[in-house]
Amino acid sequence: MRELEYPFDSEDILKRSKKIKRRLLEERSDFLQKKIAVLGGSTTHDIVRVLEVFLLEQGIQPLFYESEYAQYWQDVMFDEPALAAFGPDLIFIHTSNRNIARFPGMGDTPQQIEDLLTEQYEHFQVMWDKIEKKYHCPVIQNNFEYPFYRILGNREAVDIHGRISFINRLNDKFYEYARTHAHFYINDLNYMASAYGLDRWADPLYWHMYKYAMCLQAIPEFAYNVSHIIKAVFGKNKKALVLDLDNTLWGGIVGDDGVEHLEIGQETPMGQVYAEFQGYVKAQKDIGVLLCVDSKNERDNAIAGLNHPDGTLKPEDFIVIKANWEPKSQNMAEIAQELNILPDSLVFVDDNPAEQEIVESQVAGVSVPRIGSPEQYIRVLDRSGFFEVTQLSEDDRKRNEMYKANLQRQKQAQNFGDYREYLLSLQMRATIRAFEALYMARIAQLSNKSNQFNLTTRRYTQTDIEAFATDARYITRYGKLEDKFGDNGVVSVVIGRQGSMEEIAAYQKREPILTQNSGGEILHLELWLMSCRVLKRDMEYAMMDSVVDACRDRGIGTIIGYYYPTAKNGMVREFYGQMGFEKIAEDDTGVSTWRYVIPKDYQKKNTVIEVAN
């Protein structure tokens, strides 16, 4: 919704959030529902109200728990029953420098200040540790913003007695905790306050009148920033930047002006702006954002422009380059298809408002930021948080290469008459094992991101995934696939629970399974998903073989699969049928149930991938 896209009118959002919320709820129905506990050290009412509309915009429908005023610590430490009953999917701890109980006194010795630092830090650390033990859910914690006055003036950050010095050291300890705890995220309140302007942000009226940690007008930008972390944790990040060329990546029209007259590089102020923007886009690639081009140009001209000696971006930085005279919306749809991702994972960057309109209206779900004039491009994209980084994995850094290798595979496939022969030529090697520590984060990420090849679309946090790994009732499998073009990383996940026939009805109704028995003669498949980048590679057969092996080891003779239809997973409606299952039920909502009785002489289904266990 235009009103909620950066740059937005904060005062308008504050004033009309109720109406905006109503419209968002009318527009769609496929929300991901999440329970979010907001534990405040100051008033949280308007923060929750505005955070809600930003999350709805991202497709997340939050149910909120709000602590009583400033009870963030007590709620956790004294096991507030209402919080426990709420069972949060995520906890957001909204504290600020107003919650630092004591700052150094001017007469304190270095040792006393050290002790005070430890004391203030441990106040928070015991709470985080408790949350980790009791709630096993992701935590978002604010860091501390600078105070709006400086007793020691410019020495405030230098002298250990200064509050800025103290806050910097305390923040460092928070960051250290975040680096060593996987589901713990820092919301950079300090950055937000400085970007907004500390004097306006810290308007003391709002603290003394209403106990708000910031002025009311700053709340939308603050809540927007928090919403980025939340949607990233729940797998709603964007995946690709699709860029226009003329007047987006350089100044001028390459087809008309010629490469030598483009504005890019250090010669002119405008050239410098575009050079800085190209550098920004290139850095996105290094955090795993896929780069593509969608431009109205002759292809040769587009390539020539990208080879400009003063440009940072080169043709090989892009996975798909669409430079032609087709409508940009059509190119966008094709890019999504070639990358095997949904259009709602794409961000379209074009300086031309007319092209922005066409793409936005013709390609459902694609994000089209109003990027403004060239010197604003970076700020608008950066603040929009499309690619919020919650962790930086090896996979993220290598993603562009993986997608490129995929396109090479597709090209090679066209040269083979026989598909099996093609698959063999890929020299695929898979590792299929029970969940292991190294991959928990990736497995959780996949469970939140996979929409198309996903039989049940159950979303799990990393903590859930770790719990399955140690639960004796569960059979877990992850699959990693490599071939001669490169490593695809972890691409498939199966989770099955050993149980009984009586439980089938509950699975069909998607109800929680209450029985606690540890044995059982059948395996209920709670999750089966695969990344679309390895479609048609027979990886699903290799996974099936591994699951069957695990069942035989436990004396399980029957596997029950479930298909829960969503707007996006139509491609796997008949998946279990293709795997040799027999459909035993289907209700009027489209939920189907499938049975596979493992034959005594089970023949391995995969014959093209070499599998290591």
Partner 1 sequence: MTREEVFEKLNEVFRDVFDDEEITVTDATTADDIEEWDSLEHINLLAAVEQAFGMKFNMGQVVSMKNVGEMADIILSKID
Stretch that binds partner 1, among 15-23, 241-249, 314-322, 486-494 (CB under 8 A): 15-23
Stretch that binds partner 1, among 8-16, 117-125, 376-384, 570-578 (CB under 8 A): 8-16
Q: For partner 1, which residue of 46, 114, 298, 310 counts as binding (CB under 8 A)? A: 46
DSSP letter string over 249-262? Answer: TBBS-HHHH-GGG-
Stretch that binds partner 1, among 13-21, 280-288, 423-431, 484-492 (CB under 8 A): 13-21
User: Of the two residues 16 and 568, which places its CB atom closer to partner 1 in the complex?
Assistant: 16
SS3 content of the chain, % helix, strand, coil (to 5): 45, 20, 35
Stretch that binds partner 1, among 211-219, 241-249, 299-307, 530-538 (CB under 8 A): 211-219
Helix residue spans in 98-218 (DSSP H): 110-135, 163-180, 189-196, 198-201, 204-210
Our finding on whether 612 is near partner 1 (CB under 8 A) is no
> Is 543 in contact with 492 (CB distance < 8 Å)?
yes
Q: What CA–CA distance (Å, rounded) separates 229 from 389? A: 8
> Is 83 in contact with 65 (CB distance < 8 Å)?
yes
Our finding on whether 200 is near partner 1 (CB under 8 A) is no
- Which one, of 224, 406, 254, 403, lies nearest residue 323 by Cα? 254
Our finding on whether 43 is near partner 1 (CB under 8 A) is yes
CB of 79 to partner 1, least distance (A): 27
Dihedral sign for Cα atoms in the order 529, 531, 532, 538 = negative
CB of 204 to partner 1, least distance (A): 9
Whether the link from the prior residue into 7 is cis, omega within 30° of 0, is yes
User: Of the two residues 10 and 476, which places its CB atom closer to partner 1 in the complex?
Assistant: 10
CB of 216 to partner 1, least distance (A): 5
Our finding on whether 35 is near partner 1 (CB under 8 A) is no
Q: For partner 1, which residue of 5, 6, 8, 14 counts as binding (CB under 8 A)? A: 14
Dihedral sign for Cα atoms in the order 73, 76, 77, 79 = positive
Q: For partner 1, which residue of 171, 217, 393, 566 counts as binding (CB under 8 A)? A: 217
Our finding on whether 25 is near partner 1 (CB under 8 A) is no
Which residues make beta-bridge pairs with 561? Answer: 525, 594
By CB under 8 A, the residues from 462 to 501 that bind partner 1 are none
Stretch that binds partner 1, among 40-48, 295-303, 484-492, 587-595 (CB under 8 A): 40-48
CB of 27 to partner 1, least distance (A): 17
DSSP letter string over 467-482? Answer: HHHH-TTEEEEEEEEE
Which residues make beta-bridge pairs with 563? Answer: 592
User: Of the two residues 51 and 430, which places its CB atom closer to partner 1 in the complex?
Assistant: 51
CB of 407 to partner 1, least distance (A): 50
Our finding on whether 19 is near partner 1 (CB under 8 A) is yes
Our finding on whether 18 is near partner 1 (CB under 8 A) is yes
Our finding on whether 212 is near partner 1 (CB under 8 A) is yes
Our finding on whether 209 is near partner 1 (CB under 8 A) is yes
Our finding on whether 208 is near partner 1 (CB under 8 A) is yes
Q: What CA–CA distance (Å, rounded) separates 465 from 414? A: 39
- Which one, of 239, 242, 251, lies nearest residue 292 by Cα? 242
- Which one, of 289, 465, 455, lies nearest residue 387 by Cα? 289
Backbone angles phi, psi at 444, to 5 degrees: -65, -40
Count of residues near partner 1 by CB under 8 A = 18
CB of 232 to partner 1, least distance (A): 28
Our finding on whether 69 is near partner 1 (CB under 8 A) is no
Length of the chain: 613
Query: Can you give the binding site for partner 1, defined by CB under 8 A?
Result: 11, 14-16, 18-19, 22, 43, 45-46, 205-206, 208-210, 212, 216-217
